[in-house]
Copies of this chain bind each other. A is one copy, B any other.
Amino acid sequence: MSRVYNFSAGPSCLFEPVLQKAANQMLEYEDAKMSVMEMSHRSKAYEAIINDCEARLRRLMNIPNNYKVLFLQGGASLQFTMIPLNLMKNKKADFINTGQWTKKAISEFKKLGEANVIASSEEATFSYIPEINEDMINDDSDYLYICENNTIYGTRYTKLPCTKGKTLVADLSSCILSEPCDVSKYGLIFAGAQKNMGPAGLTVVIIREDLIEERKDLPSMLSYKIMADNGSMYNTPPTYSIYICGLVLEYLEETIGGLENMKKINEEKAEILYNFLDNSKMFSNPVKKEDRSIMNVTFVTGNDDLDKKFVNEATKQGLVNLKGHRSVGGMRASIYNGMSVEGVKALVNFMKEFEENNNVQN
């Protein structure tokens, strides 16, 4: 076994025991005597898998009973359309613009209604989370939209914004399951699975029941009501991806011991990395300290050639996918749930070595 430490922003590293279990069960799942991939989604064996997956998610996130969990397809990007199609009444929504993913959400919303960007950190390359107050919220907006962790820039909300009683809609793609979450504060949470939940091709939506309405003439596949009424089985769901998600949730529940424990591990990893960065003479993190993500840690040397050399040499050491997003450059270490403390320590050790070998002036 010679697996690398994979710092990819997503799809990203998964818990190795999850992969091992999936490998062991690939040809025969328990006594079903077939692969999960081969199971009819209407079979009892598969129903147990999807029901177990939902039950584990509900326990881990302490999801209130008046919320539905939906297993959908199309990624966060399809939610940018499904959310307005299902939730809009006044065809207006407020957005806090914290990066490329809120910009995409805004851009898709504009095809359907009026998007009000009530705050933005774009002028500072999204290096912080803008503060908002109630006066900034539009009375006639249908909801307030945020992206809670910004993968590209390495920022996150450490507390939720005021909402003035509006429905809060949040993209948790890159932070779901990283720490406990008070679901009751949100109207709708969604997340692409490919960071903390499992394989790409599965999107989880957690929605308060009163927001689920019949919308006349909406295509069935875009209707939360139809998806909810059919237990995410209006058509064939992404069955294998849901199974892997279930294995991830099982590991979180039974081995990690829940999201409080996961949070401690994630904070430990982030602290190791930020502590090093804050004391380094070569590397620095461009994000406002209070808004630092514990999932995506960005850093730069200030020298593009040195950044490039760092990424190349790290790759040779089995520390891979450290290149920053093309829109911001530099480096990024995504340290999702699946990344071990050992992986982060290995990265920091390599960064120290690189700093020494590349002779930064004191």
Interface flags, A239-251, vs B, CB<8A=1, else 0: 1110010000000
Q: List chain B residues, Cβ under 8 A from A241.
A: 199, 201, 238, 240-241
Q: Which residues of B sit under 8 angstroms from A219, Cβ to Cβ?
A: 78, 80-81, 108, 111
A77 at the interface (CB under 8 A from B): yes
Q: Tally A residues with Cβ within 8 Å of B.
A: 68
On whether the beta carbons of A8 and B75 are closer than 8 Å, the reply is no
Give chain B residues whose Cβ lies under 8 Å from the Cβ of A159: none
Most chain B CB within a 10 A radius of its CB, from A16, A194, A318: A194
CB pair A236–B200 under 8 Å, yes or no, is yes
Cβ of A158 to closest chain B Cβ, rounded Å: 27
Contact of A321 among B12, B40, B194 (CB under 8 A): B40
With both chains docked as a complex, state the minimum distance between the C-beta of A45 and any C-beta of chain B, in angstroms.
10
Central interface residue in A13, A40, A104, A218, by most chain B CB within 10 Å? A40
- Copy tally for this chain in the complex stands at 2
Query: A125 at interface (Cβ–Cβ under 8 A)?
Result: no
Task: Name the CB-closest residue of B to A334.
Answer: B40
Contact of A238 among B10, B12, B32, B199 (CB under 8 A): B199
Are B28 and A240 closer than 8 Å at their CB atoms? no
A28 — which chain B residues lie within 8 A by C-beta?
1-3
Chain B proximity of A219: nearest CB distance (Å): 4
Closest Cβ–Cβ distance, residue A331 to chain B (whole Å) = 15
Report if A90 contacts B (CB, 8 A): no
A134 within 8 Å of B (CB atoms): no
- Whether A19 pairs with B13 at a CB distance below 8 angstroms is no
User: Taking the complex as formed, is A20 at the interface, i.e. its CB lies under 8 A from any CB of chain B?
Assistant: yes
One digit per residue, 1 when the CB lies within 8 angstroms of any chain B CB and 0 when it does not, for chain A 309-329 equals 000000000101100000000
For window 1-54 of A, CB contacts with B under 8 Å fall at 1-4, 6, 8-14, 16, 19-20, 22-24, 26-28, 32-35, 37-41, 43
Q: Are A37 and B108 in contact (CB under 8 A)?
A: no
Residues A201 and B40 in contact, CB atoms below 8 Å apart: no
Choose from B81, B220, B321 the contact partner of A108 (Cβ within 8 Å): B220
Q: A2-B33, A38-B12 are in contact. Are A237 and B201 (CB under 8 A)?
A: yes
- Complex partner residue of A76 from B11, B37, B235, CB under 8 angstroms: B235
Q: List 8 other contacts, CB 8 Å, given A4-B32, A108-B220, A238-B238.
A: A1-B27, A11-B38, A11-B40, A23-B24, A43-B321, A75-B236, A111-B219, A201-B236
* 24 sample A-B contacts, Cβ–Cβ < 8 Å, listed by A number: A2-B33, A4-B33, A4-B34, A11-B38, A13-B34, A13-B38, A19-B27, A19-B35, A22-B26, A38-B338, A73-B74, A73-B78, A74-B78, A74-B221, A77-B220, A77-B221, A77-B234, A81-B222, A108-B220, A199-B239, A200-B236, A200-B239, A201-B201, A201-B237
A-B CB proximity, top 10 nearest? A201-B238, A23-B26, A81-B219, A73-B73, A77-B235, A8-B40, A78-B221, A200-B236, A4-B33, A111-B217
